[in-house]
Amino acid sequence: MADAWWRGATIYQIYPRSFQDSDGDGIGDLPGITSRLDYVKALGVDGVWLSPFFTSPMRDFGYDVSDYRGVDPMFGTMADFDALLAAAHERGLKVIIDQVWSHSSSDHEWFETSRQDATNDKADWYVWADPKPDGAPPNNWQAWFGGPAWTWEPRRRQYYLHNFLPSQPDLNLRNPQVREAIKDIARFWLDKGVDGFRLDVVNYFLHDARLRDNPPSGRPEPALPRDMQEHAFNSNQPETLDFVAELRALTDSYGDRMMVGEIAPGSFDLMRDYTRTQQRLHTAYAFDLLGDWPGAERLGEIIARWADGLEEGWPGWALSNHDVARIATRWSAAIGASEQRTGVLCLSLLTTLRGTIFIYQGEELGLPQADVPFDKLQDPWGIAGWPQNKGRDGCRTPMPWNASTDGGFSPGSPWLPIADTHLTLAADVQDRQPQSVLAIARVLVSLRRMFPAMRTGALSLVPQTTPGVLAFTRGSGEEAFLCAFNFRDEAAAVETGLDDTLDRVFGAGQGREGRVVVPAHGVYIGRRPEAGLREPAGDGERLLAEAAALPIPD
């Protein structure tokens, strides 16, 4: 387990709708992904995570599944998936697929049966409840996309639970039959050879059996009714971990496979709870780093709280994904740096963290958040919340492969417009620039692969006296690295916690005994000269020379 491929791995998230269109309909597809695997391989990542490509009415763009064993025709066929899986494995890339087991689509045959009456063979496969005497929903639970988490079904004369859209009814995972049906789905994909699962909103698998009201949150100026309450009873139930243990046992029976859980919004404590011991998730990520800039001091607290040991759990980290604004934009204003500078600063941070890390497509290019006009919006959340909440379309726009009008994404009209700001950062443009963000990304990911200390070594926070500065060591003894990040708008002295002189690996800084002066919004990664390599020394020394020569763009 200590040497499992996923421990310390770098996984590249692909949002299929927006990665590469192969047939001209403006929507990315599985053959398109296959055609770009050489690009993914060149990044140096260990594998890919594919967001849903299953049969779906697409009311939430695939996170509402109507057939867990089917490929939606807009993405291709099962043969296309088999070809993608084989091509990835030929390149040494693992393949993780999204699984949405908290809820299904309301179009799923299970729900179509369940909603008919209270006596059919699927009657208890979803969460149903009687109204209160006055006809109101059974409790005060609020859905994440706005409004009550309950919708009335006239055929059953009952309410059904949906923590998200009304078209996403919650499965009743307290029912053993439902659990077995989900495990059968897992076996289907594991038998095909996938290397693991990303479990959508895993902490919403089970609900409080007594349907108790959620307490008020007391948050000032809540954006939505959901923010007015703590989700104490419609999520994070202790029994969820029992089902997670069943899934872990099943996954482990297939050998070196893995599960990563999304804990939404989650916290460090939940990440630890869901990964501690070897009977829970292999790793998990929460939204601690997917929200607003927490400040350097809080950031250090979040990343440094993981103890060593196989029983202590293993963190997962993401700074961007398909649900939140891109990190280059999301943190730039608070940090006071340009979007490009912020993107590199954060990419450097991500690739040096202890845990399994996830890079969202385009993050390696330093893409900022796209500004999608209202008349081009697709996300129902953004359409309903405009203009205060513009939804998730800005992080889901098509991948820019070249600087042409369509970005090389599709010969047809893309499902979302390609941002003009992205075309100048296109992959082929940066590929021709030896000191681009893409070049930096490739070097940072490769450094993580080559050095055991950077991949799985311990992380120790180095206390600082200067606000806005973060520093930690990776590894120990002769293997130690220093990773320093200056989030200030002026140069800052960073305590290294190491007595000897360091060799600069990446970034900029002037080293002194026990400290290094890092430029404004700068990065410094240094190593002891004796630090070991996973790869042959020649390759390692070449990579170190490349890394040291790369400046951080403004």
> How many angstroms separate the CA atoms of 507 and 509, rounded?
7
Q: What angle do CA 265, 180, 69 make, to 5 degrees?
A: 75
Q: Which residue has the tokens 């649900």?
A: 323
Cα torsion angle, 116, 120, 124, 130, sign: positive
Mean pLDDT computed over 189-208: 98
Amino acid letter for position 250: L
Largest CA distance in the chain: 76
Q: At residue 10, does pLDDT exceed 80?
A: yes
Q: At residue 37, does pLDDT exceed 90?
A: yes
Residues 223, 187 share a domain: yes
Any idea what the CATH number is for the domain that residue 405 is in? Answer: 3.20.20.80
- The H or E element containing residue 11 is strand 10-14
Residues 483, 434 share a domain: no
Residue 164 belongs to a domain = no
94 forms beta bridges with 47
Which residue among the candidates 153, 170, 200, 288 is catalytic per the annotation?
Answer: 200
Positions of E strands within 346-447: 356-360
Residues 240, 208 share a domain: yes
Q: At residue 57, does pLDDT exceed 50?
A: yes
Mean pLDDT computed over 45-73: 98
Residues 305, 349 share a domain: yes
Residue 134 belongs to a domain = no
Half-sphere exposure of 439 toward its Cβ, with a 13 Å CA cutoff? Answer: 18
- Please report the pLDDT score of residue 3 as a whole number: 84
What's the pLDDT tens digit per position in 165-187? 999 999 999 999 999 999 999 99
Q: Which contacts qualify for 285-291: CB closer than 8 Å, 24 or more apart?
A: 285/260, 285/261, 285/315, 285/316, 285/317, 285/318, 285/358, 287/263, 287/324, 289/317, 289/318, 289/319, 290/318, 290/319, 290/320, 290/321, 290/323, 290/324, 291/265, 291/324
**223's torsion region: left (phi>0), alpha (psi -120 to 50) or beta?**
alpha
Q: What is the CB neighbour count within 10 angstroms for residue 62?
A: 24
> How many angstroms separate the CA atoms of 242 and 428, rounded?
47
Query: CB–CB of 481/505 below 8 Å?
Result: yes
- Look up 311 and say whether it is catalytic: no
Residues 436, 382 share a domain: yes
Residue 14 belongs to a domain = yes
Q: What does residue 99 show for φ and ψ, rounded to 5 degrees?
A: -130, 130
- Please report the pLDDT score of residue 289 as a whole number: 94
Residue 194 belongs to a domain = yes
Residues 434, 489 share a domain: no
* Structural domains of the chain, count: 2
C-alpha pair distances (Å), 147 with each of 60, 156, 392, 423: 16, 21, 19, 38
Which of the four pLDDT bands, split at 50, 70 and 90, describes residue 525? very high
What's the pLDDT tens digit per position in 230-257? 999 999 999 999 999 999 999 999 999 9
- Please report the pLDDT score of residue 500 as a whole number: 67
What's the pLDDT tens digit per position in 86-107? 999 999 999 999 999 999 999 9
Q: Going by C-beta distance under 8 Å and a sequence separation of 6 or more, which residues neighbour residue 353?
A: 303, 315, 317, 459
Query: CB–CB of 260/284 below 8 Å?
Result: yes
Residues 210, 94 share a domain: yes
- Look up 262 and say whether it is catalytic: yes
CA-closest candidate to residue 201, choices 322, 100, 291, 92 = 100
What's the pLDDT tens digit per position in 497-523? 876 678 889 999 887 778 899 999 999
- Please report the pLDDT score of residue 537 as a whole number: 46
- Please report the pLDDT score of residue 78 as a whole number: 98
Three-state DSSP class for 497?
Answer: coil
> How many angstroms separate the CA atoms of 522 and 551, rounded?
10
301: burial class by Cβ within 10 Å (0-12, 13-18, 19+)?
middle
Average pLDDT, the chain: 93
Residues 470, 389 share a domain: no
Mean pLDDT computed over 390-403: 96
> How many angstroms separate the CA atoms of 422 and 394, rounded?
11
Residues 260, 313 share a domain: yes
Residues 339, 244 share a domain: yes
Three-state DSSP class for 458?
Answer: coil
Global confidence as pTM: 0.96
Question: Domain boundary residue among 412, 440, 468?
Answer: 440
Which of the four pLDDT bands, split at 50, 70 and 90, describes residue 536? very low
Which residue among the candidates 80, 262, 363, 406 is catalytic per the annotation?
Answer: 262
Residues 355, 237 share a domain: yes
Q: What angle do CA 352, 356, 362 make, to 5 degrees?
A: 75
Three-state DSSP class for 66?
Answer: coil
Q: At residue 531, does pLDDT exceed 70?
A: no
Residue 136 belongs to a domain = no
Q: Order of strands across the sheet with 94-99? A: 283-285, 258-262, 196-199, 94-99, 47-50, 10-14, 356-360, 316-318
- Please report the pLDDT score of residue 422 as a whole number: 97
Residue 512 belongs to a domain = yes
Residue 124 belongs to a domain = no
- The H or E element containing residue 550 is none
Any idea what the CATH number is for the domain that residue 500 is in? Answer: 2.60.40.1180
The DSSP call for residue 385 is: H
DSSP line for 50-63? EPP-EE---TTTTS
Which of the four pLDDT bands, split at 50, 70 and 90, describes residue 538? low
Amino acid letter for position 85: L
Question: Domain boundary residue among 440, 472, 499?
Answer: 440
- Please report the pLDDT score of residue 1 as a whole number: 62
Give the domain extent around 389. 10-106+173-440
Residue 436 belongs to a domain = yes
